[in-house]
Amino acid sequence: MSIGGNRLNVGVLGASGYTGAELLRLLVTHDGVNIAALTADRRAGQPIEAVFPHLGGLGLPTLVANDEVDWSAMDVAFCCLPHGTTQEIIAALPEHLKIVDLSADFRLRDIATYAEWYGHEHRAPALQSDAVYGLTEAYRDEIARARLVAAPGCYPTGALLPLIPLLEAGQIVIDEITIDAKSGTTGAGRAAKEGMLFSEVGEGFSAYGIAGHRHMPEMEQELSVAAGQPVTIGFTPHLVPMSRGILSTIYVRLRDGASADDLRATLDARYADEPFVRVLPAGFAPATQHVRGSNHCLIGVHADRRPGRAVLVSAIDNLTKGSSGQAVQDMNIMYGLDERRGLGQAPLFP
Amino acid sequence: MSIGGNRLNVGVLGASGYTGAELLRLLVTHDGVNIAALTADRRAGQPIEAVFPHLGGLGLPTLVANDEVDWSAMDVAFCCLPHGTTQEIIAALPEHLKIVDLSADFRLRDIATYAEWYGHEHRAPALQSDAVYGLTEAYRDEIARARLVAAPGCYPTGALLPLIPLLEAGQIVIDEITIDAKSGTTGAGRAAKEGMLFSEVGEGFSAYGIAGHRHMPEMEQELSVAAGQPVTIGFTPHLVPMSRGILSTIYVRLRDGASADDLRATLDARYADEPFVRVLPAGFAPATQHVRGSNHCLIGVHADRRPGRAVLVSAIDNLTKGSSGQAVQDMNIMYGLDERRGLGQAPLFP
Amino acid sequence: MSIGGNRLNVGVLGASGYTGAELLRLLVTHDGVNIAALTADRRAGQPIEAVFPHLGGLGLPTLVANDEVDWSAMDVAFCCLPHGTTQEIIAALPEHLKIVDLSADFRLRDIATYAEWYGHEHRAPALQSDAVYGLTEAYRDEIARARLVAAPGCYPTGALLPLIPLLEAGQIVIDEITIDAKSGTTGAGRAAKEGMLFSEVGEGFSAYGIAGHRHMPEMEQELSVAAGQPVTIGFTPHLVPMSRGILSTIYVRLRDGASADDLRATLDARYADEPFVRVLPAGFAPATQHVRGSNHCLIGVHADRRPGRAVLVSAIDNLTKGSSGQAVQDMNIMYGLDERRGLGQAPLFP
Amino acid sequence: MSIGGNRLNVGVLGASGYTGAELLRLLVTHDGVNIAALTADRRAGQPIEAVFPHLGGLGLPTLVANDEVDWSAMDVAFCCLPHGTTQEIIAALPEHLKIVDLSADFRLRDIATYAEWYGHEHRAPALQSDAVYGLTEAYRDEIARARLVAAPGCYPTGALLPLIPLLEAGQIVIDEITIDAKSGTTGAGRAAKEGMLFSEVGEGFSAYGIAGHRHMPEMEQELSVAAGQPVTIGFTPHLVPMSRGILSTIYVRLRDGASADDLRATLDARYADEPFVRVLPAGFAPATQHVRGSNHCLIGVHADRRPGRAVLVSAIDNLTKGSSGQAVQDMNIMYGLDERRGLGQAPLFP
């Protein structure tokens, strides 16, 4: 490891997509890292501003192909490649590197579940078992010891942060969890698809992937760990005409006379010292515009009108806490740095 | 009634708000009506284009104060006034008029419930009991005979159309109905409020009025009628950065082995001949942009991953089927006209 | 011609793009036409709702390939195909058909100019010389006699309507016309391009094609006709984060002591009897949201602070008056119908 | 002055508006300042998160009334109060304070011009003559010595940065400068006005204040200084359906055979060492989304099709370089700090 007065040398694989851009936006403010290599196979040889004009003038390296990077002098690799293509690339990286993977490739511990939801056998099963799920607030100690961290999906991050402590506390019924989630368009990535054109998405709102979204098994895996038994959820994602943000509205049934206030107390206690999770007082509901561009997760807890039920609402920026921000937070922990480094920006509002 | 070769003379009370504007947009294409009077107390004396530039050049009458209208030659009054102010104004209108009220004032049959949710005693209880709830597909016959129709709220319209037939058929559990609804900004009306500024709403998404929105008792009233017993719902409204549209995602538990396909069959049968309700085939989910500016309601039915549950999704334009469009539909029925008149516009997409 | 109590049989070539969808939205309200055939080569065999869900339930014909249409029973063909592909297809259509082409292929009278701006020789030069430029208010008589009408581009329509009368009246200096135009995203069509994704366009504003947009020669052609001598303009298009609408802000220098009021008087006189062009009173500026979904063009005239100059502002919906609406207007004229038929919708606001 | 190892104590007058919020967003990342007091007369006694939820959890002081601040321990006051109310408040501040005023009150050197455009006599004329216009790149030396800096308006910043060097170089004709500017909605502030509601602004684009906007005299003042003679401009502001950003498209006539490349060379030379102004290479046009949340100004220079003319395009974030960011930059200079402190954030894109 080359740190010690020095900066960590960081390489970003797949820097031409939105998670790559977000990672760079954060890392340029991180005084413990040196952005040493950026890859984008189809844009190799081009300056980053050809792909992301907003990143011009920052002194970033020119884009190269994935196989052109000299990893010998690197400390960390962030993988922002598409799902499915990442496994073999990561398997081929030198042993001395620590890796934060932002794809879905190493999130599912069960290889069979992976194959079921992603349509092919996993291509690096040995690495799969080494990978740590990078939900910082749940796996901080494991992350500190990990070589390979799988940064969670955006929907799972927004749902798991409010739900895990409540399942661990046994305050909610495990088979009555319904997650109604709403995401901005960057969640769909930068690939040019008709359905994601401004003309199609603007002034409209829709549900998609009902009961079949790939983030479901990832949520169920982690909720089952928290509950100590298998959890099956209801989950409906929606597309909001905005670029960033996920709001998750979560309907739960309470156990053993617990109240909404009890749930809030549990979350308050759990997250009191967390730098990026904030539980709102009774009566306040989060909004995505209040976390835009920041690594924060806001959580509100509300009584339902129906006795014995409650409504949880969480807000994150899908590109920050839901992806690249959490990846930076995890990297900081992997290297024993203050986990807030590179993440000091207040939300951008309006 | 002055029709018979002639056009119905229509007055619109409160023409300077969004429901008033939408009513005018529709009525100018209705060849059975004559828009004879428009009121707006604070803008009396001004041409309509001073309030709504897009309505200029259409030959509409100048705005007058509410008490300046000569109702003797009128046939129909549409009331687009704010909640609470409407009751006494309607009570004072001449007997020969038929009235469609777009406020909440006559939607709740139970005066005590009204007082509880609106914070004051009802001021026209006698009229209240005469009023017919104007959800066209549920009360067509009663509307045909009514003098006073209370056009439903926007959220109730989107939720009731999919739910009523299923409750009537006994296919869903009555105490496990959760409605997660998302609305465009016009639902909040045209009053200048900080929270509704473009700068506040744009690029953001939030929940509001959790478990306390005034449309809840209206929904529960009608769902209870359909179920034949009291129904209490979960309901969370959200604000979408768009002007028009409501998408309702509704989580239900199935009874007696019913499947999502069974629910769809029930809805298909019920709405087969309805001009404005369309049940989508399996696998299709509605989007608000596909009903924009039209009087349509689209409904999708989806199996949940959890056995014995289903997800219903409906889309309406809150200003059209959710308000002024349904009001025109009801007026047509009150006068024995084809209910599609004035409502022939296809959705505006993109 | 098969009309006479009967409806015109209309075929739409290229019904899977935005101009096709807009045409259908308008034609379904036109009681003088029968939509008899829709083509979309890549979607042949599919129902229109597979391509445009908002057009489901309207009884429209299934999509077929371009060469599958039996034109013998048709009266009119609307061509909504991409630029460059249209020429040969139109050249092959039977003689009895009247044609409104919405592409750029027949707008430029000079074949050399076409070749210069579109990068290839024109493939139907004989038809080119027969085509009438379909700016209704400028060429109504020629359109009435035409077999082939080339519907103008969206930017040209917004700029020409205010400028032509002023050039004809000799009130403005011909070499000091600067057009700063702003368009919604549908102007770019439905092709999936990275730059048109919601995530790229939202919450942003940019200029593009500066001094090099293909609508320039079309504008200069028509302005030169109006001026009686060659006109070269300045033109900068911009992309607005909205789906529909073009606002053109036009800077002109006045001739011979003319004032802004004089310009307005000229436009007032010229457009007094036009159903779709409205010149606003002094002090009022148009907005695109006030023409959304309608065939209207609003024009405002303003004095500059610099003596001897004025600012013209026009607003249209690029898909309606800027494209499909004007195409319908032209078709009405070609068949001697009231030109307002199918275009009776008031603007959709909000 | 209390700095020297220590932090500057900063008070923000008027912290409940958008420029106040933006200032706080930036200052919380500035390790040379201590945010010691926040005022908001109508919200005195409330925590900042009651006014701006996104600023909760940052340890900011509670809001107090303007006259409750103990200025004795303060170093700097930022005034984010509305135009017109600021003069007397600033005049009453203790002498030891340095002040950056974000209102228009001290921008116009000529008292008569102020009275003409703002409708009342200036109430602190003595201070007016001491104030330095805070366009950093033009007045860096004067700012370093100033006690009172008047941060420029947002439109002036976007227009002056490209124009001043060209006028100084004598490369453009002074009476043929036309500025067509487009702004996001935050430029209108946070006051609740019907015209700024999401429902009114969304999916629309309009011009306003044509030839009469209050930023005109400010621009003309500075352009006249640069030209060495009085300059009168054409200026049309527009409202874009986005929250942040200003794009200015500026039409100029070239002098003495200068070309667009010559203009770009002048700007390149002038801004080569500036940390926040970036002149783009030929063929590239700026976009507001590429400066969002950052203090950058991007400038593109383009040849017009008409010989002897050019088109300049600049992009800024109106709340950052157009207001609070530039105010921080100026404060840094007033205290001899690196002017980039607190402004190190890369643009937020998407």
Q: Which CATH number fits domain C8-152+322-334: 3.40.50.720, 3.30.499.10, 3.20.20.150, 3.90.1150.10?
A: 3.40.50.720
Among D174, D298, D305, the strongest candidate for a mutation testing the C interface, having the largest count of C CBs within 10 A, is D305
- Mean pLDDT of all residues in D284-304: 98
pLDDT in the model for residue B5 = 59
Of A56, A344, A347, the CB nearest to D278: A56
Between these two residues, C138 and D212, which has the higher pLDDT value? C138
Q: CA dihedral in degrees (D144, D148, D153, D154; nearest 10)?
A: 50
**Sign of the torsion angle spanned by Cα atoms B38, B40, B46, B51:** negative
Round the CA-based radius of gyration of chain C to a whole number and report it.
20
Residue in B with minimal Cα distance to C292: B54
What average pLDDT does the structure give for chain B?
A: 96
Query: What is the rounded distance in angstroms from the CA atom of residue B266 to the CA atom of residue C157?
Result: 50
pLDDT in the model for residue C84 = 86
Q: Do C185 and A198 touch (CB under 8 A)?
A: yes
Q: C137, C168 in Cβ contact below 8 A?
A: no
The helix (H) or strand (E) run that includes residue D97 is none
- For CATH 3.40.50.720, the residue range(s) in chain A are 8-130
- For CATH 3.40.50.720, the residue range(s) in chain C are 8-152+322-334
Contact list in B for residue A300 (CB cut-off 8 A) is 207
Contact list in B for residue A319 (CB cut-off 8 A) is none
pLDDT in the model for residue C85 = 85
pLDDT digits (tens, 9 = 90+) for D95-141: 999 999 999 999 999 999 999 999 999 999 999 889 999 999 999 99
- Cα of C17 to nearest chain A Cα, Å: 11
Going by pLDDT thresholds of 50, 70 and 90, the confidence category of residue A5 is: low
Q: Do B345 and C349 touch (CB under 8 A)?
A: no
Task: Based on the residue annotation, tell me whether C154 is a catalytic residue of this protein.
Answer: yes
Q: Do C232 and D306 touch (CB under 8 A)?
A: yes
pLDDT in the model for residue D84 = 86
Q: Do C198 and A194 touch (CB under 8 A)?
A: no
Q: Do C349 and B202 touch (CB under 8 A)?
A: no
Q: Is a pLDDT exceeding 50 seen at residue A231?
A: yes
DSSP B134: -
Three-state SS annotation for chain C: CCCCCCCEEEEEECCCCHHHHHHHHHHCCCCCEEEEEEECHHHCCCCHHHHCHHHCCCCCCCEECHHHCCHHHCCEEEECCCCCCHHHHHHCCCCCCEEEECCCCCCCCCHHHHHHHHCCCCCCHHHHHHCEECCHHHHHHHHHHCCEEECCCHHHHHHHHHHHHHHHCCCECCCCCEEEEEECHHHHCCCCCHHHEHHHHCCCCEECCCCCCCHHHHHHHHHHHHHCCCCCCEEEEEECCCCCCEEEEEEEEECCCCCHHHHHHHHHHHHCCCCCEEECCCCCCCEHHHCCCCCCEEEEEEECCCCCEEEEEEEECCCHHHHHHHHHHHHHHHCCCCCCCCCCCCCCCC
pLDDT in the model for residue A85 = 85
- Mean pLDDT of all residues in A83-93: 91
Residues across chain C: 350
Residue in A with minimal Cα distance to C184: A199
- Mean pLDDT of all residues in A225-252: 98
pLDDT in the model for residue C1 = 43
Of B191, B194, B198, the CB nearest to D185: B198
pLDDT in the model for residue C334 = 98
Catalytically annotated residues of B: 154
Nearest to D102 by CA among D110, D113, D90: D90
pLDDT in the model for residue D85 = 85
- Residue C96, token pair as written in the block: 């009895």
| Superfamily of the domain at C155-319 | Dihydrodipicolinate Reductase; domain 2 (3.30.360.10)
- For CATH 3.30.360.10, the residue range(s) in chain A are 155-318
**Sign of the torsion angle spanned by Cα atoms B165, B166, B171, B174:** negative
pLDDT in the model for residue C5 = 59
pLDDT digits (tens, 9 = 90+) for B138-152: 999 999 999 999 999
Contact list in B for residue D18 (CB cut-off 8 A) is 199
- Cα of D42 to nearest chain A Cα, Å: 21
- Mean pLDDT of all residues in B257-275: 97
Going by pLDDT thresholds of 50, 70 and 90, the confidence category of residue B317 is: very high
Between these two residues, A256 and B207, which has the higher pLDDT value? B207
Contact list in B for residue A208 (CB cut-off 8 A) is 285
- Complex ipTM more than 0.95, yes or no: yes
- Mean pLDDT of all residues in A77-91: 93
pLDDT digits (tens, 9 = 90+) for D214-246: 999 999 999 999 999 999 999 999 999 999 999
Q: Is a pLDDT exceeding 90 seen at residue B312?
A: yes
pLDDT digits (tens, 9 = 90+) for B49-93: 999 999 999 999 999 999 999 999 999 999 999 988 899 999 999
Of B191, B202, B242, the CB nearest to D243: B202
Domain B155-318 bears CATH identifier 3.30.360.10: yes
Prior bond to B230 cis, omega within 30?
Answer: no
Q: B224, B191 in Cβ contact below 8 A?
A: no
Q: Is a pLDDT exceeding 90 seen at residue B11?
A: yes
Residue in B with minimal Cα distance to C346: B25
- Residue A140, token pair as written in the block: 């901080």
**Sign of the torsion angle spanned by Cα atoms A164, A166, A169, A171:** negative
> Interface partners of D (3+ CB pairs, < 8 Å)?
A, B, C
Of A180, A204, A289, the CB nearest to B289: A204
Q: What is the pLDDT along chain C (350 residues), one digit of tens a residue?
A: 444 458 999 999 999 999 999 999 999 999 999 999 999 999 999 999 999 999 999 999 999 999 999 999 999 999 999 988 899 999 999 999 999 999 999 999 999 999 999 999 999 999 988 999 999 999 999 999 999 999 999 999 999 999 999 999 999 999 999 999 999 999 999 999 999 999 999 999 999 999 889 999 999 999 999 999 999 999 999 999 999 999 999 999 999 899 999 999 999 999 999 999 999 999 999 999 999 999 999 999 999 999 999 999 999 999 999 999 999 999 999 999 999 999 999 999 99
pLDDT in the model for residue A2 = 46
Contact list in C for residue B287 (CB cut-off 8 A) is 53
| Superfamily of the domain at A8-130 | NAD(P)-binding Rossmann-like Domain (3.40.50.720)
* Amino acid identity for residue A159 in this structure: A
Query: What is the rounded distance in angstroms from the CA atom of residue A27 to the CA atom of residue A76?
Result: 12
Going by pLDDT thresholds of 50, 70 and 90, the confidence category of residue B123 is: very high
> Interface partners of A (3+ CB pairs, < 8 Å)?
B, C, D
Q: Do D199 and B185 touch (CB under 8 A)?
A: yes
Contact list in C for residue D232 (CB cut-off 8 A) is 305-306
Kindly give the residue spans of alpha helices, DSSP state H, lying in D208-338: 215-227, 260-271, 325-334
Going by pLDDT thresholds of 50, 70 and 90, the confidence category of residue A1 is: very low
Q: Do C194 and A190 touch (CB under 8 A)?
A: yes
- Residue B29, token pair as written in the block: 């294409």
Query: What is the rounded distance in angstroms from the CA atom of residue B292 to the CA atom of residue B345?
Result: 10
pLDDT in the model for residue D6 = 84
A contact set with C (CB within 8 A): 18, 184-186, 188, 190-194, 196-203, 241-243
Q: Do D240 and C240 touch (CB under 8 A)?
A: yes
- Mean pLDDT of all residues in A274-289: 97
What average pLDDT does the structure give for chain D?
A: 96
